[in-house]
Structure 1
């Protein structure tokens, strides 16, 4: 009797694996996110100005109005960035824990706890480092300047965007796409260092080009990148980033609204 075991032969109709994104494509994805922020910020900002001219008595004051612009801008930019990156990297790489993946797999509880501790320590250590480098100069970010002058309700509305949406998309880009690219080419050590430096440097415009505020963000970037490498998941890094941002917003609720 003939023996026909077709399972012994590999299937011939499998499509070749999609090529991993390269350096230029990865950097363009990061640049696209910030370009979208600029574009959506201009769009919603211009719309808010038009509404102010048409309905001056109904539109909120400038700080509250700008918070609405920030929320819409980040929500639209983050949504499109997630769609772009996940579509290009693909489902398989999105859930891959190794160097070539984005790390959207479940982490262990231990690394979530470590990520929380790092997120609490980062603003404390980073704040001391910034004070040392700044020499007494005040450091603030554009979003914080807006929130400090806004109504308490608008500060609360902005909180989820700063604590959750911002860290989620930045972790996707810097500890997902960029770190993945660097790990496959340079190894873990260099990948952690370079991705953290890039992460800190791209925030310079939001910091008013105050260079002495960048090492604080580089420290956060090192913590997050180390967690991504060690845990095999992007979620502990997200927890660190979110906790850091949450502590940084405490001043919003102690500031006096003018």
Structure 2
């Protein structure tokens, strides 16, 4: 019995693995980095703001986690290629990529500014392709690797005022399937992790809106907002050997909102 339990526990171990997490200076990205580290991974935090990344690294260090940081703009393909190469050369091979960087913009669709549309496409979609491709180019020769693209409940559902965001997350869902279709034969597993409504900084205004929170509680079978720590288990599963034959899948962590009318 004990031997079986130990063998099963190794399925979820990330010991000896290195994970790059984009958009990791706060929110979901930082929480996932912390969770992967707790399961044995060496984590590299990415973001655009070096000072904020250093603050996050210090916070993790106070918790006993010795994270690395690399600041580069994931919307700049040349910067991504150089940044990923530097991590591979100076820190070591990237075994796991959590493609998390993302933004939100809200406005009625008929009045949606072009600049906000472009920003959403650049950060939420282009960056997933740029970082995924750059990392995969190193993973493919090694014959292994895990890529987890952060999708959304909006990969499946729409809501007024965020149609462009919904478009980007729907595209990330299908890009994930395309990555798996092209790269699974090389030993890579590429999957999506789709949060529902979580209490994050990006959703702070909605969390504070009593009417919206009341609507969400009634609309969601779990009847509450998700807490970001509840994403860690799914991320560990998709990053570990436990998901060795899972490819092109989008795992919803949404309290059941996509399961019900």
Does the alignment reach a TM-score above 0.5? no
Q: Judging by fraction of residues, say which structure has more strand.
A: 2
TM-score, normalisation: structure 1: 0.33
